[in-house]
Structure 1
Amino acid sequence: MAQKAAKTLAASNTRRLNTTLYLTLAIHIFFWLLRALIFRPSFARKSLVLYLIFSAPQLFIQFQFERIARPTYGPDGQVRRSGDDLEAKGLTEYMWDVTYWTYGCIILVSVLGDWAWWWWAVIPAYSAWLLYTTFMGARQGYTDAADVPQPTSKRQAKMEKRGGQKVQYR
């Protein structure tokens, strides 16, 4: 039972990374097959440049996930390093959003044409919205913290109602 959490995380990471790798390969091969077989006359240099520009972030994220989360095993089969958690909140979660959104955009571009790359613009807009809401939430939290009265217990409220705490001298 030694290192059960590390083994569980390693198995989870391996499963998720393999699924993501196969999905990435399938989607990119789908793009290239449709472009080569069906949309061949319209597959020009501009289309190739757009594909490289808009799929590069997803491919970079895929590489980063492989680098930081792929578990390593020792010669005896024991988990040497389980890798970072792919279910983590924050930046990892955002990287998954970019990956899945890019998958959708590549599929749309494969079927509908190059104009569908405009859907990829949602990612920077979403990032800007997250940044704005985070900044405004933090800013509001800093200004409202001093204005909000501290909650009092029922005992303290009763004592204040009677005139406050009285000190008796003997």
Structure 2
Amino acid sequence: MANASTKRIAAANVKLLKALPKNFYMINVLAILVRIMKWKVYGRQLLPSGFVGFLHGLGFVASMFIWRWFVEIGTPTRNAKGDLRVPADLGSSGVVEMAWDVIHITWICTLGGALLGNWVWWLTALIPCFAAWKLFGVAKPFLGMFLPGMFGPKAPKEEAAPAVVGGAQPGESRKQAKLRARAEKGDRRVQSVRR
């Protein structure tokens, strides 16, 4: 029998795998319809060309490969005993999260490019920038070993001098300062100890 966590992951994976092709087709068909409408009404180009066309094709192909990969790693199966087996969680972080980012940025650029113009495809630059930022976070401790001046631990900051309250001497607590002040006034409650 599968535990509750496996069942929850399996249900979430099935839900995501059912929604993925629907959203994929809906976004692409809607983008094509918007491009056809703009072509008929405004006389703009029907398909993106040049570098933007290359990015569009690359994003489409990457999304298709990621979709197939998600189906491969996320489809729940049953083993010989009949127990539920989930190869991977499609909601996990790491490479799976980066793959979702590629799909979502591609969808945003596909629909945004059809609605707003081809300049939206420059958002695809966010994918390698985000990957470089994550990679730098992983590599920074290793760089600190070889380049300690740039990436190593910083020198500890000097602690600010504690606030001196009511004529207290440095390194003296408030209670000690009060007792010293009472003793100086000649209060009988304070017993001075001579050493």
Q: Same fold (TM over 0.5)?
A: yes
- Indicate the residue corresponding to 2:162 in structure 1: none
Aligned pairs for 1:114-153 (under 5 A) are: 114-140=118-144
- 1: CA distance between counterparts of 2:95 and 2:124? 19
Aligned residue in 1 for 2:28: 28
Residue 3 of structure 1 aligns to a residue whose secondary structure is: coil
Match of 1:65 among 70, 88, 91: 70
> Structure 1 residues 79, 105: closer, same or farther in 2, change over 3 A?
farther
Alpha-carbon separation, structure 2, partners of 1:141 and 1:13:
41
Unaligned runs of 5+ in 2: 157-195
In the other structure, the counterpart of 1:162 is none
Partner of 1:106: 110
Give the structure 2 partner of residue 165 of structure 1.
Answer: none
Q: CA deviation at 1:80?
A: 4.9
**Displacement after TM superposition at 1:139 (Å):** 3.0
In structure 2, the CA distance between the partners of 1:44 and 1:70, relative to structure 1 (3 Å rule), is same
The CA deviation at 1:141 is 7.1
Of Structure 1 and Structure 2, which has the larger fraction of its residues in helix? Answer: 1
Which of 43, 47, 63 pairs up with 2:46? Answer: 43
2:85 equivalent in structure 1: 81
Runs of 4+ with deviation above 6 angstroms: none
1:59 CA drift (Å): 2.0
Structure 1, unpaired ranges of 5+: 149-170
> How many residue pairs get matched?
145
Q: Give the % identical residues.
A: 25
Structure 2: how far apart are the matches of 1:31 and 1:79?
A: 42
User: CA–CA distance in 2 between the matches of 1:45 and 1:58?
Assistant: 18
87 and 42 in structure 1: CA distance in 2 versus 1, 3 angstrom threshold: same
Does the C-alpha gap of structure 1 residues 28 and 44 become closer, same or farther in structure 2, counting only changes over 3 Å? closer
Q: 1:141 to 1:80 in 2, by over 3 A?
A: same
Which has the higher Rg, Structure 1 or Structure 2?
2
Q: Which of 1 and 2 has higher RCO (CA within 8 Å, sep 6+)?
A: 1
**How far apart, CA to CA, are the structure 2 residues paired with 1:135 and 1:123?**
18
Distance 1:99 1:127, change over 3 A: same
Distance, in Å, in 1 between the alignment partners of 2:47 and 2:24 is: 23
| Matches of 1:39 and 1:105, distance apart in 2 | 18
